[in-house]
């Protein structure tokens, strides 16, 4: 999972670098503020990585709730 996330971060960082060239200074600051948590720093090697599943489909939501044994109404 860590390698998958690292690869995605590389793609996102490249996109941000290109995007910054075509946006205003105020927009650049907003974008970098939004992504400051991970835009420059690598993922810590000692911490666990938590990801959330895609719950946009109702059956996935039900399955997820079943797996954590909680009902959402």
20: phi then psi, degrees, rounded to nearest 5: -60, -25
* Amino acid 53: pLDDT: 74
Asked whether the predicted pLDDT for residue 28 surpasses 70, the reply is yes
Report yes or no on whether pTM surpasses 0.75: no
Structure-block tokens of residue 35: 């992504």
User: What does the pLDDT look like over 36-50, one tens digit per residue?
Assistant: 766 666 666 776 766
């Amino acid at each position: 999972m860590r390698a998958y996330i690292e690869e995605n971060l590389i793609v996102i960082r490249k996109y941000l670098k290109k995007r910054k060239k075509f946006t205003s200074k105020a927009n650049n600051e907003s974008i970098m503020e939004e992504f400051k948590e991970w835009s420059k720093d690598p993922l810590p090697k000692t911490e666990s990585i938590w990801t959330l599943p895609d719950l946009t489909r109702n059956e996935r939501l039900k399955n997820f709730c079943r797996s954590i044994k909680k009902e959402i109404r």
